[in-house]
Amino acid sequence: MANELQDRKIAILLAPVGTEQAEFTEPKKAVEEAGAGVDVIGLQTGDAQTMNSDVNPGETYQVEKTFSEVSSDDYDGLIVPGGTVGADNLRGNSEAVSFIRSFFEQQKPVGVICHGPWTLVEADVVSGRTLTSYPTLQTDIRNAGGEWVDEEVVTDGGLVTSRNPNDLPAFCDKIVEEFAEGKHQRQSQSV
Protein backbone atom coordinates (compact mmCIF):
# COMPACT_ATOMS: atom_id res chain seq x y z
CA MET A 1 0.00 0.00 0.00
CA ALA A 2 3.06 2.29 0.28
CA ASN A 3 2.83 3.99 -3.13
CA GLU A 4 -0.63 2.94 -4.26
CA LEU A 5 -1.78 6.58 -4.34
CA GLN A 6 1.44 8.20 -5.51
CA ASP A 7 0.67 11.29 -7.64
CA ARG A 8 -2.92 11.41 -6.30
CA LYS A 9 -4.32 14.46 -4.52
CA ILE A 10 -7.10 13.95 -1.97
CA ALA A 11 -9.32 16.54 -0.29
CA ILE A 12 -10.51 15.89 3.26
CA LEU A 13 -13.15 18.08 4.88
CA LEU A 14 -12.91 19.52 8.39
CA ALA A 15 -15.69 21.55 9.99
CA PRO A 16 -14.77 24.49 12.25
CA VAL A 17 -16.02 22.45 15.20
CA GLY A 18 -17.53 19.01 15.67
CA THR A 19 -15.76 16.68 13.23
CA GLU A 20 -15.13 13.29 14.86
CA GLN A 21 -11.36 13.20 15.46
CA ALA A 22 -10.64 9.57 14.51
CA GLU A 23 -12.81 9.86 11.39
CA PHE A 24 -10.58 12.74 10.28
CA THR A 25 -7.14 11.51 11.40
CA GLU A 26 -7.33 7.82 10.45
CA PRO A 27 -8.48 8.21 6.81
CA LYS A 28 -6.04 11.10 6.33
CA LYS A 29 -3.20 8.95 7.64
CA ALA A 30 -4.25 5.98 5.48
CA VAL A 31 -4.19 7.90 2.20
CA GLU A 32 -0.97 9.72 3.11
CA GLU A 33 0.72 6.39 3.93
CA ALA A 34 -0.45 5.15 0.53
CA GLY A 35 1.42 8.05 -1.08
CA ALA A 36 -1.32 10.65 -1.66
CA GLY A 37 -1.03 14.36 -1.06
CA VAL A 38 -3.85 15.64 1.16
CA ASP A 39 -5.39 19.09 1.55
CA VAL A 40 -7.59 19.89 4.55
CA ILE A 41 -10.57 21.92 3.29
CA GLY A 42 -13.12 23.78 5.42
CA LEU A 43 -15.39 26.76 5.85
CA GLN A 44 -12.53 28.93 7.11
CA THR A 45 -8.79 28.49 7.47
CA GLY A 46 -7.13 28.12 10.85
CA ASP A 47 -7.81 25.96 13.88
CA ALA A 48 -10.68 23.48 13.87
CA GLN A 49 -11.78 21.70 17.05
CA THR A 50 -12.45 17.99 16.61
CA MET A 51 -14.56 15.93 18.99
CA ASN A 52 -14.50 12.41 20.40
CA SER A 53 -17.88 10.66 20.67
CA ASP A 54 -19.54 13.96 19.69
CA VAL A 55 -19.27 15.42 23.22
CA ASN A 56 -15.63 15.28 24.33
CA PRO A 57 -13.21 17.84 22.87
CA GLY A 58 -10.46 16.29 20.78
CA GLU A 59 -7.34 17.78 19.27
CA THR A 60 -7.24 20.93 17.16
CA TYR A 61 -6.17 20.64 13.50
CA GLN A 62 -5.47 23.20 10.79
CA VAL A 63 -7.82 23.87 7.90
CA GLU A 64 -5.49 24.73 5.05
CA LYS A 65 -7.89 25.97 2.36
CA THR A 66 -11.48 27.17 2.08
CA PHE A 67 -14.06 25.99 -0.41
CA SER A 68 -13.77 29.29 -2.29
CA GLU A 69 -10.05 28.62 -2.85
CA VAL A 70 -10.36 25.13 -4.33
CA SER A 71 -12.18 23.14 -6.99
CA SER A 72 -12.87 19.44 -7.31
CA ASP A 73 -10.80 19.72 -10.51
CA ASP A 74 -7.75 19.92 -8.20
CA TYR A 75 -8.36 16.52 -6.58
CA ASP A 76 -8.59 12.81 -7.37
CA GLY A 77 -10.85 11.94 -4.44
CA LEU A 78 -12.73 13.27 -1.41
CA ILE A 79 -13.08 12.19 2.23
CA VAL A 80 -15.99 13.45 4.34
CA PRO A 81 -15.59 12.56 8.04
CA GLY A 82 -18.53 12.42 10.41
CA GLY A 83 -19.35 13.92 13.75
CA THR A 84 -22.90 15.13 14.30
CA VAL A 85 -22.09 18.83 14.67
CA GLY A 86 -19.34 18.77 12.03
CA ALA A 87 -21.49 17.12 9.39
CA ASP A 88 -24.36 19.46 10.19
CA ASN A 89 -22.06 22.49 9.79
CA LEU A 90 -20.89 21.24 6.39
CA ARG A 91 -24.34 20.37 5.05
CA GLY A 92 -25.56 23.85 5.99
CA ASN A 93 -22.98 25.54 3.76
CA SER A 94 -23.80 25.87 0.07
CA GLU A 95 -20.12 26.00 -1.00
CA ALA A 96 -19.37 22.77 0.86
CA VAL A 97 -22.43 21.06 -0.65
CA SER A 98 -21.51 22.21 -4.18
CA PHE A 99 -17.92 21.03 -3.69
CA ILE A 100 -19.11 17.57 -2.61
CA ARG A 101 -21.62 17.32 -5.47
CA SER A 102 -18.97 18.20 -8.05
CA PHE A 103 -16.97 15.06 -7.19
CA PHE A 104 -19.99 12.98 -8.18
CA GLU A 105 -20.51 15.01 -11.37
CA GLN A 106 -16.86 14.34 -12.28
CA GLN A 107 -17.16 10.62 -11.40
CA LYS A 108 -14.42 10.86 -8.74
CA PRO A 109 -14.32 8.51 -5.74
CA VAL A 110 -15.71 9.72 -2.40
CA GLY A 111 -15.39 8.20 1.08
CA VAL A 112 -17.95 9.22 3.74
CA ILE A 113 -18.35 7.91 7.28
CA CYS A 114 -20.81 8.10 10.20
CA HIS A 115 -22.87 11.34 10.04
CA GLY A 116 -21.02 12.48 6.89
CA PRO A 117 -23.76 11.12 4.59
CA TRP A 118 -25.94 14.03 5.68
CA THR A 119 -23.80 16.08 3.29
CA LEU A 120 -24.59 13.61 0.49
CA VAL A 121 -28.31 13.93 1.16
CA GLU A 122 -27.97 17.72 0.99
CA ALA A 123 -25.94 17.45 -2.23
CA ASP A 124 -28.71 15.28 -3.72
CA VAL A 125 -26.39 12.44 -4.74
CA VAL A 126 -27.85 9.39 -2.95
CA SER A 127 -30.78 8.57 -5.21
CA GLY A 128 -30.44 5.00 -6.47
CA ARG A 129 -27.31 4.37 -4.40
CA THR A 130 -26.64 1.82 -1.66
CA LEU A 131 -24.82 3.16 1.39
CA THR A 132 -24.47 2.98 5.13
CA SER A 133 -24.07 5.57 7.85
CA TYR A 134 -24.65 6.10 11.53
CA PRO A 135 -28.01 4.34 12.05
CA THR A 136 -29.96 7.52 12.84
CA LEU A 137 -29.41 8.76 9.26
CA GLN A 138 -31.16 5.81 7.61
CA THR A 139 -34.51 7.59 7.25
CA ASP A 140 -32.83 10.65 5.70
CA ILE A 141 -31.00 8.43 3.21
CA ARG A 142 -34.15 6.49 2.30
CA ASN A 143 -36.16 9.71 1.93
CA ALA A 144 -33.46 10.97 -0.46
CA GLY A 145 -33.87 7.84 -2.62
CA GLY A 146 -30.96 5.80 -1.33
CA GLU A 147 -30.91 2.26 0.02
CA TRP A 148 -29.52 2.12 3.56
CA VAL A 149 -27.81 -1.06 4.78
CA ASP A 150 -26.23 -1.93 8.13
CA GLU A 151 -22.74 -3.05 7.08
CA GLU A 152 -19.19 -2.23 8.14
CA VAL A 153 -18.26 -0.78 4.76
CA VAL A 154 -20.31 -0.38 1.59
CA THR A 155 -18.89 0.38 -1.84
CA ASP A 156 -21.19 1.49 -4.64
CA GLY A 157 -19.33 2.48 -7.80
CA GLY A 158 -16.78 4.84 -6.25
CA LEU A 159 -18.83 5.78 -3.17
CA VAL A 160 -17.46 4.24 0.05
CA THR A 161 -19.45 4.56 3.28
CA SER A 162 -19.13 3.26 6.83
CA ARG A 163 -21.16 3.51 10.02
CA ASN A 164 -18.87 4.73 12.83
CA PRO A 165 -15.29 4.85 14.16
CA ASN A 166 -15.30 1.08 14.82
CA ASP A 167 -15.46 0.61 11.03
CA LEU A 168 -12.38 2.73 10.32
CA PRO A 169 -9.94 -0.11 9.46
CA ALA A 170 -12.26 -1.45 6.72
CA PHE A 171 -13.20 2.08 5.61
CA CYS A 172 -9.58 3.17 5.28
CA ASP A 173 -8.60 0.08 3.29
CA LYS A 174 -11.54 0.53 0.93
CA ILE A 175 -11.02 4.27 0.27
CA VAL A 176 -7.39 3.64 -0.64
CA GLU A 177 -8.53 0.93 -3.04
CA GLU A 178 -11.23 3.11 -4.64
CA PHE A 179 -8.97 6.17 -4.89
CA ALA A 180 -6.34 4.00 -6.61
CA GLU A 181 -8.91 2.81 -9.15
CA GLY A 182 -9.75 6.41 -10.12
CA LYS A 183 -12.95 7.58 -11.74
CA HIS A 184 -16.15 5.53 -11.54
CA GLN A 185 -18.89 6.11 -14.10
CA ARG A 186 -21.56 5.17 -11.54
CA GLN A 187 -20.79 8.29 -9.48
CA SER A 188 -22.46 10.62 -11.97
CA GLN A 189 -25.61 8.50 -12.26
CA SER A 190 -27.00 9.87 -9.02
CA VAL A 191 -26.69 13.57 -9.96
150-173 b/e (C-beta count within 10 Å ≥ 16 → b): eeebbbbbbbbbbbbbebbeebbe
Q: Cα(176)–Cα(1) distance, rounded to whole angstroms?
A: 8
Question: Other C-beta atoms within 10 Å of 112: how many?
Answer: 29
Strand partners, 42: 66
Q: Cα(76)–Cα(53) distance, rounded to whole angstroms?
A: 30
Evaluate whether 52 touches 83 at the Cβ level (below 8 Å). Answer: no
Q: Is 115 a catalytic residue?
A: yes
Q: Which of 8, 115, 129, 163 is catalytic?
A: 115
Question: Other C-beta atoms within 10 Å of 37: how many?
Answer: 14
Could you list the active site residues?
Answer: 115
